[in-house]
Structures are given as structure tokens and as C-alpha cells.
Structure 1
């Protein structure tokens, strides 16, 4: 157990430069988080991310940033229900997630826009929604929404 002091000594970091003991602890937590993701334990740790693939995990100045993308090849249209595989475009969407180990988490999702293939459907394009994670216009994960 590490006791926090008011004047933390600066120690050399593996990536060069110096940092406080708090920085080392934060790096350790991010490393454990990344190992958990690689070993498949992320589904138990963050079950609401089970439908997405994790592209990268990075430590930022204010927490942890996850870059994710959907793994499903087709998505049903929210208006007519017909499944579509034709991607119209992509955009990034940021979601704030609950802190893990005291570190704030920001999830950056690569969202795809699809063309609806039904001629009689009023939706020409629609954005995919990740079950259990996103809903239209939401900026917080279900864990943060409560």
C-alpha cells in the first residue's frame, strides 16, 4: 500500500523524463487495464463494452482514453428493421464512462453511418447504435447515466 505524501519525489519513468509517484501508480493502472483488455478480461471488468473491439488504450493527462469500433458487419435500420451492410460514412463519437481505479475514462467510438436498402423506408441513412452502450445523442455510457 502506497501512502500519499504532499511532496511526492520525482522518479525517472520508463518512457523518459520524470514523474511523481502518483504518475507511476497511474501508469501501472493503465498497464494493468491494457493487459486485461488483451487477455479478454475486459468483458468482466467493463461488460458494457463487450459489443465493441478495442483499438487502443492510452493514458492521457486527465485519465484513460479508449479507441473502439463496432465488430458487427450489418446493422438493422431503426425505422424499417431491414439489415444493411452498405456503409455511407464514419464519424467519431465520445462517451464519458465511470472512473476505473480512480481514473476517468473517455471512450472514442468510430460510428458508422449506413444506407438503408429498403426503397420505401423514410430513412436514407442512419447511424449504428451499440446495444448496451449508445443511444441517439447520448454522451454518457449507461453506467454514468445510472
Structure 2
């Protein structure tokens, strides 16, 4: 199995990016990746642009790989919107399944965190004592 085939099995949500390097340190996995799409769509008007303004790195938390936290260091581009009537003059490209505007974690990790918060909230609501510490009924 090639590295690209292995990457598509382990990280299927990263098929829109080029994985440049995967490294492991302690309890974390670091993925260095970059985008490879030719153009990006303006989030405001939807017009496609190929005109790059700048590049920068984003650090995105992702769902765990095994029992290790996963951090994606993603190199993304800023584009000029070519629509003169659009309010957004410059916008950052978004990678489906990996980034959301102004987000620091992937949609997958966001779903896990939301489910965890809801489960903990329900548990707190079901305790008849409203106690901050663990009581026999809360276990």
C-alpha cells in the first residue's frame, strides 16, 4: 500500500489537501498539509478566483488518531475577490471537511465536542441534587 493510499484510509476527510508530512511526538500526531485547488470561491458572492493575495498557516485540531490528538498544520491561501461589487475584497480559502471560517478545529472534532458537551449537560440536568462533586446518584 502506498503512502497516498494509506493516507486516504486513515485520513479520508483530507482528500482535498496534499499531505506533505506526518510526524508523531509523544501523544500527538502532526500533519503538515497544503491546499492544491486551483481556485477558491468567495464566501460572500460565490465568484471563483485564481488571484492569490497571500499565504499563511492555520493550526487545526482534528479528531484523534487512535488515542493521540491530531493537529493539522495547513498552508492556505488568501484570494482577491474579482467581483468589484462584493464587500469581501480578500478571503481565505476553505477546505471542505477540514476548515470553517475563523475555526480552530475541524468539523469532525466540532461534532465530537458538541456531542460531549450535550452528554455532560444532560448528565448535570439529571442529578437531583445539583451537586458539583460526584454523588452516589451521579456516579
Change (3 A) 1:39 1:133: closer
* Length, aligned pairs only: 111
Gaps of 5+ in 2: 112-139
1:58 is paired with a residue of what secondary structure? strand
CA distance in 1, matches of 2:102, 2:49: 21
Partner of 1:91: 56
Match of residue 63 from structure 1? 28
1:12-51 matches, within 5 Å, as 38-51=3-16
Aligned to 1:54, which of 12, 19, 22? 19
What TM-score do you get using the length of structure 1 for normalisation?
0.70
Structure 1 residue runs of 4 or more that deviate by more than 6 Å after TM superposition:
none
Q: Secondary structure at the match of 1:41?
A: helix
Residues 1:92 and 1:39: Cα distance change in structure 2 (over 3 Å): closer
Q: Tell me the SS of whatever aligns to 2:13.
A: helix
CA deviation after TM superposition for structure 1 residue 143, in Å: 1.8
Residue 76 of structure 2 is aligned to residue 111 of structure 1: yes
Aligned residue for 1:123? Answer: 88
Q: Tell whether the 8 Å contact from 2:97 to 2:108 is kept in structure 1 after alignment.
A: no
- Could you give the per-residue CA deviations for residues 25-83 of structure 1, whole angstroms, max 9, x where no partner exists? xxxxxxxxxx76x1423223222111111011122244111111111100111111111
Instruction: Compute the displacement of 1:113 (Å).
Output: 0.3
Aligned to 1:19: none
The TM-score, its normalising length taken from structure 2, stands at 0.73
Give, in whole Å, the separation in 2 of the partners of 1:55 and 1:124.
30
